[in-house]
Structure formats: structure tokens, C-alpha cells
Structure 1
Amino acid sequence: MRDLTEAQVAAGHQVGIICDLSTGGDHEERLFEAIKPMLALGIWRTTMQRHVGPGDIAAGWRTYKIIKELRPDVLHGHGAKGGVYARAFGSLLRVSRYCVARLYSPHGGSLHYDERTLTGKLFFGLERLMERFTDHLLFVSDYERRTFIRKVGAPRVPNSLVYNGLRDEEFEPVPVGGADFLYIGMMRDLKGPDLFIDALARLRQHLGRNVTAVMVGDGEDLPHYRAQVERLGLAGDVRFMPPMPARLAFALAACVVVPSRAEAMPYIVLESLAAGKPIIATAVGGIPEILGTNSPALVMPSAEEIGERMRSSLENPVAYGKLMPGPVELKSRFGVSVMASDIEKAYFSALAPSRS
């Protein structure tokens, strides 16, 4: 969002962000403060609960009042809740004869539900219903587009695939750090920190020596992972650190491990590769679209496979590093200028029919 905002402002657009107040920490607060001066429409933060509940009524009303005051030309909703708000409130503005383009980017969220369950059927039915109030769907990975088609149905509105993009300075290499491996991300089981810790224990047993790691991030399950490290006797080898900019974290270790059980199109994989870091990542979501479906860096989300690939990277780090995609290839597909240009095209295409 920050990279897209900077690119849109540089192109001469006036941008604002409306987002949740209840999540995030000091790191996210610093990011908000850094981009606040460039946002002509400001940053508006209000409590938005992740799951559907009675609180949505009050949160929705607050959000609608903000949007009505800003009177934007484009409303771009990210994730299930943001998508509902952007399309519902954009449609209400249209009833008031105010033209606004309504775009939606599905990001995991409701797409993670099993379509065979009652909850899944409910959410996917709502997704299909909300298409009536959608001018354009923007997918960040072909995996998400295929998942949408399988669970919701083929899109009935214009849609496009636009990959996440990185700034030019993010393609500068980061020196190798002191630890062997790095995990960076939310401390929750969906992201696989427990698999990372178990893989470290397996690797130490196989090699017969200590293997060092840094785990960067925060979340409600953090105490659980600290206890797991203690239980497996890894306390002297694993260091926990609070959230920080990714490139600072990259300097702490030689290889990045992304052990997620489910993903959409994770920025951390792009950021790691752009910084010249070798990675080990699970073949879930859109990750194979970044690395290539036959990449030796891809593993299944199991501690055994992750540990085995970690062993390979330690045995010959130079050879393993050469297996990663090069910066020129990455920049041509995942540069921020490509992302911003493609999203701008979608905005203008969605605006044209609404204005006529």
C-alpha cells in the first residue's frame, strides 16, 4: 500500500487511506507517520474487526461518513472487509448521483474458506452478490484468480492480474548477516513459525551441531513459539526480535525461510529476492509464480522438507544462491512502476463507464 501510494502521488493523484485502528504496532505506526505528509486525502483509522459481527454496523457507518466527506473518484477495497465497504459505500454514493469507480482486490481472507462448508458457501455467495456492485476486480496473483473462479465462479465484471511491485532501491543487495536463517512475519500458525522451529531442531539433530536463527515479528501466538524453542532446547540458537523494516532484518541472517501454510502473494518473498537473499519458501498461493513452479527453493509446508532444504543451503550457500531469480528478471515483472501503471489503467477503465 505504501509503495502504491508513493507511485500514485508521484503520478499527480490525490490519495487517502482508510484502514483499521485496532491492529498493528509501533512499526506500523512509524510507517503511517512516514507517508502521512504525502496523502492529500489523509489517513483515517477506525476500528474494523476482522470477522463479521455486530460491530460492523458502527464501523461501517463511521467509514461511510469518512468516504462521503472525501468524495473520491476511486474506491479501491483490499481484502474481504475492505472490499465490502468500498463497493457498498461507493454504490450508496452513486445513488446520490456521485460518480465513483468501485474496485476490489481479494487478498486471501474469505478465499481461504472451504467452499464445501456452510460458512464457505455463505461467504462465496456474498462475493458473487457483491460483484453486482463492482466495476473491476484486481488480482495480485494468478493463484488468487484461479481460487476465485473455483470457489466463487468466473468473474462477471472486468478483471486483471497485477503483481505486487517493489521500489528501485529495494533491488539493492543486502550483505550476509551473522545467523544462518531468518523468519520474518506475523507470529501465527498460518505463517508457519512452528514449522520453522521444528525444522531447525531436525537440522541440528541431522548435522550434529548448532544452527542459528533470528525470528522477527509479533502476534498473539508469540509466547507459544518462545515456549516451543525452550522445549526443543534451541533457546541459545534462536533470537526473537520485534517487527522492523524487512531490509534491516535481512542483514541479520544468510538465508530467509518463508514456511507459510497459506499465502496470497507475499511481499516478503519479493523483498528477499530483490535484496539478493537466497530463500526457502513453501509452494503455496502465488509463491511459485515468483520463483517458478520448478524452483529448487520451493518445498511443501512440512518441517521435514523445510529442514532438508535448509541443509542443502548450508552445505553449498554459493551454489544455492545462484538458483534464485536474478534482479533484472524480477524488476521487469515486479517493479513498482509496472504495478502502479497497471493499476492506474484499471482505475481509468473503471471510471469511464461510471462517468458516462
Structure 2
Amino acid sequence: MAAKPNETRKAQCQRILHVFRAPVGGLFRHVMDLARLQAEAGHAVGIVCDASTGGERAAKALADVTPSLELGLIRVPMRRNPHLSDWTCLRTITRRAEAVGATVLHGHGAKGGAYARLASSPAIRAYTPHGGSYNYRPGSALHRAYMAAEAVLARRTDAFLFESEGVAGRHRTFVGGPEQVTRIVHNGIADAEFAPVPQAADAADLLYVGELREAKGLPYLLEALVRLRAEGRPLRLLMVGSGPDADSLRSMVQRLGLSDAASFEPPQAIRSVLARGRILVVPSLAESLPYVVLEAAAASQPLVATRVGGIPEIFGPMASDLVPSRDSGALAGAIRRVLDESPDALSTRVRALSASIHQRFSLARMGADVISGYAAAFQAREERLKVGSDKLAQARTA
């Protein structure tokens, strides 16, 4: 959606404070890209995030972007789940916003979104969920609790910047509305990421990259691997990442007799990892708009993925290739089809998807859409204030 002239005017020289919890994964990449784009466009940008996660990789990435952060970098301990320490974090963010004169507080993820919207500040409050609380299974107690919280926080939100129509649809279904400014801002990737990745000579047959969480569907991937090996296919799986379910997944590998077929490695740079697998498998139970799918598809990597969240938006006209989640048989069938596909047909298909993504998911568009969302929120606030002022004037003259 193109910005209107008055939106463009109001988007000039904002002072933007990005707030999020963990400096890991796609959310972290999104904020880093956005901070650089906004700084290059002349906005003053700052970051507040957790001090206890991310390790050396996060520390290096934050050090690299710090010269672009006119409003600085603040790291404070943040808990994943609600905790009494949240009050300390909230006070820190409120004081930081006041100290730097923030005009926009942009919260990312459930925790960052809550902090940004609860902070006492005259700034515009924008929210990008990145899946977050919307990824809990509908009907579960946690899902109901988080959706109730989102409904309360929605009243303190000036702009919803959903990363996919899938997440926006969940908001409409389980929260309602919103009546506030809304944009669908797809993640964007750089032109350099469309260069094909040469495959390593010892590449594993199957590759998983991401958090080691059962919510990522990894038990179904392991069950699919058992099915395929039972057919006489001696496939190997490489899982790259870290997460809270790493130990239980290692135990499952042993229980299923896959110790010689599945291996684990810590998080690494995505393009070097893509070279080490023939087929990237994304068996997620819920997603927003995962960067790993964008990055692999852009690099013409063969993919098998589930039909959840924003993944169908990435695949576009090729979304029929996706499989239902929580179905190891369907997952095994999709992997089997890719393995048995002729090299020419497979190459044609993955290159077509890469070309489609190149047209629809650019960094420039992502940056422009976010700024347009801010500007529309400023305009909407002005209009609300004008309506309120007009009503007050009418009441005084009545």
C-alpha cells in the first residue's frame, strides 16, 4: 500500500525505539534490518532488548549495528514468561523513551509488544507480533490467556504491523478488529541472498534450521524419517539450532533408532548451513513469515514445508506444494516426491519460486511499509484529537 503525501510528510525524522526480548532468530534479523534501513533513511533509531539471551552471535550483531543507533542500545534482563521483573523492564523502557524523546515505540514479539504498549509515553505505539502469542494452539488455556491479554493491549496500539496475513487473520478471529491502523509488512531479503548456494559434497539428505522446540514440528519430522528409512532409503538428517527441547529431541532420536541417521549442531550462518543439506524441511505447527523459508527459497534450495501461518504467502501460486502440519505421513510423502523428482523438473520449480520471491519480498519495500504504517498512525491520532477538540467546542457553545 503506497503512502499518502500527508503520511510521507509525517514520516520524516522520527525517533524510533525498537523493543523486543530475545536477540535470536527471525525477529532479531527483522529488527536489525529495519534499524539499518531506518537509520539510512535519516531516522534516529535505538534498541532495548534482553541481556541474558543470544550469546556471542547476538553480541556481535548488536555491536555491528550500534554505530547506526543514534538513540543507543540498552540491554536489560527480560523473562520469556510473565514475571515480577517485568515492572523493572517497563520502567527502564519508559525512562529511556523519555530520555531520547522517542516519537515511535515499536514493540516486536509478545513480550516486546507488551512493554512498548504499556510504557507511559506520548510516542506512537506500533506492534509486530512475529507470531508470538498468536502461535499457541487455539483452544488451549495459554492461547485463551494470551488472546485476552492481546485484546487489552490492542486498546493501547496505534499501528498493527503484521508480518503476514496469516497472523493478521488470527488476530481478527481471536481478538477482534482491529480498528487501528493496520499494515501487512512482509519480511524482506537482500538481492545477494538470491545467489544459489553450492551444495557441499557430504551434504545431508534432509536439513532443519531453527529453534529446537516441539512446536516447530520436529517430532513429526523424525517420524517421517523413520517411515522413509523403513522403505530402504538410508537418509540422513542434520538439525541446526538450539532451544528448550533439545534434550527431549535427542532422546527421541535414540528411542526411534535414529542415532546414526540424525545429528545436531549449534546455530550457524544460514547460507553456510544451506550448503550442507539437499532438502530443507520446515515441519512447523505454527509460523508467522519465517525467514528460513524466504532465505532457502531465494537461494533455490529444494523445500518441504507445512501449510501454516504466512508460509502459503511465501509460496504464492505454488502453495499447493505445502503439506498439512501434524502429519508425519504427509511430510514423508512430500519429501519422497522431491527425492524422486527429476533434476530438471526440480531445478525449474525451485528457480520459479526464487523468482517469485524476488518480486514480492524486498528489504526496500519492508522498510517503506513500516514507515508508512507509522505515518498513518500519526495521521489517525491527529484526526482523533481534532474530532475530540471539535466535540469539546460544540459542548461549550451548546
**TM-score above 0.5:** yes
1:97 match: none
Structure 2 counterpart of 1:159, from 169, 182, 188: 182
The amino acid of 1:229's aligned partner reads V
Q: Is the 8 A contact 1:77 1:86 kept in 2?
A: yes
Number of equivalenced pairs: 348
Deviations 1:182-208 (A, max 9, x none): 1000001011222222211211111x1
Question: Contact 1:115–1:124 at 8 Å: present in 2 too?
Answer: no
State whether structure 2 residue 78 is matched by structure 1 residue 48. Answer: yes
After superposition, the Cα gap between the structure-2 partners of 1:194 and 1:321, relative to the gap in structure 1 and judged at 3 Å, is farther
Q: Which residue of 1 aligns with 2:36?
A: 6
Equivalent residue, structure 2, for 1:29: 59
* 289-298 or 156-165, which deviates more: 289-298
Alignment partner, residue 375 of structure 2: 348
Matched position secondary structure for 2:370:
helix
Q: CA deviation at 1:167?
A: 1.3
1:338 is aligned to 2:365:
yes
Task: Note the alpha carbon deviations across 1:318-354, whole angstroms, 9 max, x for none.
Answer: 2234333433321221111111111111122223455
Task: Report if the CA contact (8 A) 1:74-1:351 is conserved.
Answer: no
Contact 1:77 1:85 in 2 (8 A): yes
- Structure 1 residues 57-136: aligned runs within 5 Å: 57-89=87-119, 92-94=120-122, 100-113=123-136, 120-136=143-159
Aligned residue runs from structure 1 range 226-305, under 5 A: 226-292=250-316, 295-301=319-325, 302-305=327-330
Aligned amino acid, residue 125 of structure 2: R
Q: How far did residue 227 of structure 1 move?
A: 2.2
How many Å separate the matches in 2 of 1:193 and 1:159? 33
Q: Distance in 2 between matches of 1:227 and 1:316?
A: 33
Equivalent position SS for 1:249: helix
Q: How far apart, in 2, do the equivalents of 1:141 and 1:124 lie?
A: 18
Is residue 298–residue 355 contact of structure 2 (8 Å, CA) maintained in 1?
Answer: no
Q: Kindly, what percent of the aligned residue pairs are identical?
A: 37
Change (3 A) 1:256 1:186: same
SS class of match (2:121) = helix
Q: 1:293 to 1:300 in 2, by over 3 A?
A: farther
Offset, 1:286: 1.0
Structure 2 match to 1:189? 214
Mean Cα displacement is larger for which, 345-354 or 78-87? 345-354
1:322 to 341, 344, 348: 348
Change in CA separation of 1:114 and 1:280 when aligned onto 2, cut-off 3 Å: closer
- Equivalent position amino acid for 1:323 in 2: R
Distance change in 2, residues 1:310/1:116 (3 Å): closer
Unaligned segments of structure 1, at least 5 residues: 95-99
Shift of 1:251: 0.9
The 2-side partners of 1:53 and 1:210 are apart by: 47
- Residues 34-71 of structure 1: CA deviation (Å, up to 9, x unaligned): 22222222221112212223221222222222222222
Cα gap change, 1:253 to 1:123, in 2 (>3 Å) = closer
Contact 2:207 2:279 in 1 (8 A): yes
Aligned to 2:164: 141
In structure 2, how many angstroms separate the alpha carbons of the residues matched to 1:119 and 1:196?
25
SS of the aligned residue for 1:76 comes to: strand
Paired residue secondary structure (1:5) = helix
What CA distance in whole angstroms lies between the structure 2 residues aligned with 1:267 and 1:222? 21
Q: Indicate the SS of the match to 2:273.
A: helix
Aligned residues of 1:279 and 1:297 also touching (Cα < 8 A):
no
Q: 1:21 to 1:286 in 2, by over 3 A?
A: same
SS in 2 for 1:255: strand
**CA distance change for structure 1 residues 7 and 83 in 2, over 3 Å: closer, same or farther?**
same
Inter-partner Cα distance in structure 2 for 1:251 and 1:114: 33
SS in 2 for 1:329: helix
Q: CA deviation at 1:114?
A: 5.9
